[in-house]
Structures are given as C-alpha cells and as structure tokens.
C-alpha cells in the first residue's frame, strides 16, 4: 500500500502563466526552492536546491500547459519512491490546479508534515501569481 497527498486550488491566472510558474526555474525560486535548474522537456533532469546538504533531482514528464509530473531520483528515504505533479485545467476565471504527491511508503509524520507544507507552498504559488508576493525562502514551508 502507498499513500498520496492531494491538493486542488483555483488560481486566477491563465493556464500558460501557471504552467510557467511550476516549470521555469526563474519562477520556481519565487515560491519553492532556493535555487533551481532545468527545462520543461520530457526526461529533462531538474535540480532543486534547498540547502547544499539537501539538493535533489527530478525527471519530468509533461504535456505543455496541461500537466507536469516529476519522479524523485535523489532525495531522502521517504521521498525517493515518490512522484509529484500538477495538472492544469483552464476555466473561465483562471486555472484549476490539481496537485498530487503519490507513492509514499508510509503515512508517517514526514508524510503528514509534507502534506501541510505542500498546502502552504501551493498557497504561496497562488499568492505569487495573483498578487506578485514572493515569500523569502527562509519563511517558506
């Protein structure tokens, strides 16, 4: 058995802007990692840096402006078997974002803490896109 985190939210921005915010390293650093490299292409390797000690990679699968899925390749023990992603649907008043983080081996404290952090980070993504708010890295989840 494995466990999955789900979060869905409406973002009052067009789908292209939301897709870019979850794929472009220059925008990702405004709401999630400290540093980031990578390009939104199939099998591209992304590097997310949170500290020099915690620095992991993901491989991308995507459909332009519709979805992007990452497979963890070098993280911590709980995150290594997992995949996470964003699925985007254009709506009249913006973009409906469906987020998942699946294949967690246990419903342990790390899983629960990560679910809470994802909710905060996704709210930060929403604030970044809708209001231009950039939360300093040290204050993010």
The mean pLDDT of 81-92, rounded to a whole number, is 96
Compare 12 and 44 and report the one with higher pLDDT: 12
Q: Is 68 exposed, middle or buried (0-12, 13-18, 19+ CB in 10 A)?
A: buried
Give mean pLDDT, residues 129-135: 97
Provide the number of structural domains found in the chain.
1
Nearest of 2, 43, 21, 5 to residue 119 by alpha carbon: 5
Please report which helix (H) or strand (E) contains residue 117, including its range: helix 109-131
User: 95 φ, ψ to 5°?
Assistant: -125, 130
Residue 91: partners with Cβ closer than 8 Å, 6 or more residues away: 10
User: pLDDT digits over 101-127, tens only?
Assistant: 999 999 999 999 999 999 999 999 999
Give the DSSP H or E segment for 125. Answer: helix 109-131
pLDDT in tens, 17-38: 999 999 999 999 999 999 999 8
Amino acid 134: pLDDT: 97
pLDDT digits (tens, 9 = 90+) for 59-84: 778 899 999 999 888 778 888 899 99
Q: What is the pTM of this model?
A: 0.93
Enclosing domain of residue 61: 3-139
Angle between the N-to-C axes of helices 15-23 and 109-131, in degrees from 0 to 180, rounded to the nearest 10:
130
pLDDT band at 47 (very low <50, low <70, confident <90, very high): confident
Instruction: Provide the CATH number for the domain around residue 94.
Output: 3.30.530.20
Quick one: CA torsion of 37, 40, 45, 49, rounded to 10 degrees?
30
Work out the pLDDT band at 54, boundaries 50, 70, 90: low
């Amino acid at each position: 058995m494995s466990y999955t985190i789900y979060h869905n939210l409406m973002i009052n921005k067009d789908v292209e802007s939301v897709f870019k915010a979850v794929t472009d390293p220059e925008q990702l650093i405004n709401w999630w990692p400290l540093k980031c490299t990578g390009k939104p292409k199939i099998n591209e390797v992304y590097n997310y840096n949170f500290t020099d000690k915690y620095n992991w990679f993901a491989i991308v699968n995507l459909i332009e402006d519709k979805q992007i899925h990452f497979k963890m390749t070098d993280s911590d023990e709980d995150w290594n078997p997992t995949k996470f992603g964003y699925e985007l649907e254009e709506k009249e008043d913006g973009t409906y974002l469906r987020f998942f983080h699946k294949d967690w081996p246990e419903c342990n404290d790390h899983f629960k803490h990560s679910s809470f952090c994802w909710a905060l980070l996704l709210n930060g993504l929403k604030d970044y896109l809708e209001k231009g708010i950039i939360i300093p890295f040290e204050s993010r989840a």
